[in-house]
């Protein structure tokens, strides 16, 4: 067996992604390899999407998602689009079903190079998000940043899209809030036993909002697909928007549709940067085909 696995450095609206192809192998991609890759400017990432074979008859592949610190994430919409673009290049297929620790998700590669992912359905109960306390109404919970008398942000909507999110609604431009200061504190707040992604959202129109996200175990990100889904769903749930929403992120725009069957669909692009081969134990790597999606 070749010690190195094929990989691609990609991004989804600036959300830095590594796709590691471990199909046909018996070994695993190690947390230390992820930590080592995160240290290099060329391979710095928000998430690594590792593709494995699966024995499930209802899925094509298993995807494992690894954060910069080597911990596992449950879901990543932008990363899943990158996986679809990679697999489309390798196999020619356009429809995929993936098994993840958050459940089964499906995806479609479109002719216009846009990719749609079915992210499943939102979870609103405190136990499913999860929260450490019982909360009857998760559309606005008792949580704030800054002083209780004059908080910077307060009363977020909380939801799980396979991972926990807190969405703080703001009136002013999302760039005017020091998310980099209070995001790290709220991420690890005791109310979130599995930590949480912290976002600030501003409603622009009945079908549009602006969003910034502090991603758990990753930090500030230019785009977070599950945060976009969570914000769109929470906006519709609280009467701020309809169920089809354009979400403007620092890296670009995603289209979110919360359908009548309760499933949330995310549509957006994925972009190649370079490809190569990586040692899944140590993270050492070599570049292969620069700045192209050519199959390797």
**Rounded CA separation 99/115 (Å):** 18
Residue 205 phi, psi dihedral angles, 5° rounding:
-155, 180
Given a cut of 60, is residue 296 above it in pLDDT?
Answer: no
The kind and range of the H/E element at 18 are strand 15-21
The kind and range of the H/E element at 228 are helix 225-237
Could you confirm whether 224 is annotated as catalytic? Answer: yes
Per-residue confidence (pLDDT) for residue 295, from 0 to 100 = 39
How sure is the predictor about 111, in pLDDT bands with cuts at 50, 70 and 90? confident
Tell me the average pLDDT across 245-257.
97
Long-range contacts of 170-178, Cβ-Cβ distance < 8 Å, separation of 24 or more: 170/200, 170/201, 170/202, 171/202, 172/202, 173/202, 173/210, 174/200, 174/201, 174/202, 174/210, 174/211, 174/212, 175/212, 177/152, 177/153, 177/212, 178/152
Could you confirm whether 57 is annotated as catalytic? Answer: no
- Residue scoring higher pLDDT (111 or 146): 146
How sure is the predictor about 289, in pLDDT bands with cuts at 50, 70 and 90? low
- Which one is catalytic: 57, 82, 224, 229? 224
Strand 61-67 relative to strand 72-73: parallel, antiparallel, unpaired?
A: antiparallel
**Rounded CA separation 294/52 (Å):** 21
Per-residue confidence (pLDDT) for residue 148, from 0 to 100 = 87
Domain annotation for the chain: domains and CATH numbers:
5-120+270-290 (3.10.310.10), 144-262 (3.10.310.10)
Given a cut of 80, is residue 63 above it in pLDDT?
Answer: yes
- Determine what percent of the chain is predicted with pLDDT higher than 90: 90
**Rounded CA separation 10/134 (Å):** 40
Predicted TM-score (pTM) of the model is 0.89
């Amino acid at each position: 067996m070749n010690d190195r696995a094929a990989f691609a450095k990609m991004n989804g609206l600036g959300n830095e992604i590594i796709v590691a192809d471990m199909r046909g192998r018996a070994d695993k991609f190690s947390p230390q390899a992820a930590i080592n890759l995160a240290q290099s400017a060329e391979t710095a990432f928000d998430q690594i999407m590792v593709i494995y074979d699966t024995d499930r008859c209802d899925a094509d592949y298993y995807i494992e998602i690894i954060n910069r610190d080597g911990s596992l994430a449950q879901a990543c919409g932008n990363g899943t689009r990158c996986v679809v673009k990679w697999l489309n290049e390798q196999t020619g297929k356009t429809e995929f079903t993936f098994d993840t620790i958050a459940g089964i998700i499906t995806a479609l590669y479109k002719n216009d190079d846009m990719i749609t992912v079915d992210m499943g359905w939102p979870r609103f109960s405190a136990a499913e998000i999860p929260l450490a306390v019982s909360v009857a109404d998760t559309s606005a919970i008792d949580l704030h940043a800054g002083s209780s008398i004059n908080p910077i942000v307060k009363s977020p909507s909380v939801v799980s899209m396979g991972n926990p999110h807190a969405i703080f609604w703001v009136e002013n431009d999302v760039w005017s809030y020091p998310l980099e200061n209070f995001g790290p504190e709220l991420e690890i707040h005791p109310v979130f036993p599995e930590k949480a992604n912290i976002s600030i959202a501003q409603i622009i129109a009945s079908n549009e909002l602006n969003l910034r996200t502090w991603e758990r175990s990753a930090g500030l990100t230019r785009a977070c697909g599950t945060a976009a889904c969570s914000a769109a769903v929470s906006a519709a749930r609280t009467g701020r928007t309809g169920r089809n929403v354009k979400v403007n992120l620092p890296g670009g725009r995603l289209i979110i549709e919360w359908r009548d069957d309760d499933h949330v669909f995310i549509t957006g692009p994925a972009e190649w940067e370079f490809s190569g081969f990586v040692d899944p134990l140590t993270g050492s790597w070599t570049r292969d085909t620069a700045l192209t999606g050519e199959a390797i």
